[in-house]
Amino acid sequence: MGKTNIVVCGAGGFIGGHLVEHFRQNDDYFVRAVDIKPYNEWFQIFDNVENLQLDLREKKSCEISVKSMHRVYNLAADMGGIGFIENNKAMCMLSVLINTHLLQASKSSNVKQYFYASSACVYNADKQKNTNVVPLKEGDAYPAMPEDGYGWEKLFSERMCRHFHEDFNLSTNIYRFHNVYGPHGTYDGGREKAPAAICRKVIDAKLTNKHEIEIWGDGNQTRSFMYITDCIKGMELITEKNIHEPLNLGSNELITINGLVDMVEDIAGIKLLRKHDLSAPKGVNGRNSDNTRIMELLGWEPNVPLKTGMELTYKWIYDQICKKYN
């Protein structure tokens, strides 16, 4: 048997970089990595893969990216944490161009398998009003009332994948990611998510001796957070099993944002004065992953404890910030 040719779209991003790192270690794969960012802005970049800088919003770029590929991983999107997606709804929705052109190119190039990275932001907002949230099942995406902008784009793109599978026999796999975190990701600049943002704020407070922290909202909103190695393993499993229905991919370890701050303070060995910005974006009141379906189909669910993953994430961000101070 020859090698399986795979392309990771959005390879210069957080999850994409880790996925490239995973596949490049296996001689059974030829890996192509594609991202719009200049190479020096990729979170991770590797010599033993084919690296391409292309704008995947353009159809021609998508055709170049998928040529001769057996499997496509679409992780490319203009997105960030809650502050970014609430203030850039149109930009987030323009990512639909990426998925549209990649699906068309994959169909034309006879790609065997197409993975689409969706989001828990597709879920009906009415089911996320309580901080003591009932874990979200895959069916809770309908009737549709997703996160405005970003969530609507993800839900629409899910439907495109479904219909390309039904109408053109393109094998599509979809995960709804729940708050992925870990090293080699954004931790400042406005696109960072809560785990990285809180790590950065605690580290800054420790290094500057300004023992206070700003928290968006009252801090009682609840979330689950999935460590990056669980995310990568989940993607490998869904493509191996070739499951066509959208599945949750997330930890079911629920925690408040205040509890996450407690955890990072404990890791850092510091206690901070908390200032709550009630005017800042905070998202839904509660969101958690129901993992019943992924367990039924894959016999596995994300299982890295939050404290373990946060310790590793804190250490990496601490090292990056210390480099700047030095």
CATH number at residue 277: 3.90.25.10
SS3 state at 31: strand
Same structural domain, 91 and 240: yes
Same structural domain, 44 and 124: yes
Same structural domain, 108 and 136: yes
Same structural domain, 176 and 153: yes
Same structural domain, 64 and 154: yes
The pLDDT, as a whole number, for residue 22 is 97
Same structural domain, 119 and 193: no
Same structural domain, 188 and 174: no
Q: Cα(320)–Cα(186) distance, rounded to whole angstroms?
A: 11
Same structural domain, 19 and 149: yes
- Judge whether residue 326 has pLDDT over 80: no
Residue 295 lies in a domain: no
User: How many angstroms separate the Cα of 43 from the Cα of each of 94, 116, 139?
Assistant: 23, 20, 34
Query: Who contacts 243 (Cβ-Cβ below 8 Å, separation ≥6)?
Result: 173, 297, 298
Looking at the 3D structure of the chain, how many domains does it have? 2
Residue 39's pLDDT band, with cuts at 50, 70 and 90, is: very high
| 65 neighbors 32 (Cβ within 8 angstroms) | yes
Residue 94: name the closest of 120, 64, 56 by CA: 56
The pLDDT, as a whole number, for residue 232 is 98
CATH of the domain at 100: 3.40.50.720
SS3 state at 137: coil
- Whether 150 is a known active-site residue: answer yes
- Judge whether residue 52 has pLDDT over 70: yes
Tell me the torsion sign for CA atoms 277, 279, 281, 282. positive
Same structural domain, 150 and 204: no
Least confident of 104-113, 245-254, 316-325: 316-325
The pLDDT, as a whole number, for residue 1 is 62
Q: What is the pLDDT of residues 116-155, one digit of tens each?
A: 999 999 999 999 998 888 999 999 999 999 999 999 999 9
Angle (CA) 80 97 235, round 5°: 60
In this structure, are strands 113-119 and 226-227 parallel, antiparallel, or unpaired?
Answer: unpaired
Which is the catalytic residue, given 150, 175, 181, 314?
150
Residue 168's pLDDT band, with cuts at 50, 70 and 90, is: very high
Q: What is the pLDDT of residues 230-287, one digit of tens each?
A: 999 999 999 999 999 999 999 999 999 999 999 999 999 999 999 999 988 778 899 9
Residue 41 lies in a domain: yes
Position 296: which residue type? E
pTM of the model: 0.94
Domain that holds residue 195: 184-223+255-285+305-325
Q: Residue 176 forms beta bridges with which residues?
A: 118, 248
For the beta carbon of residue 112, count every other beta carbon within 10 angstroms.
14
The pLDDT, as a whole number, for residue 27 is 93
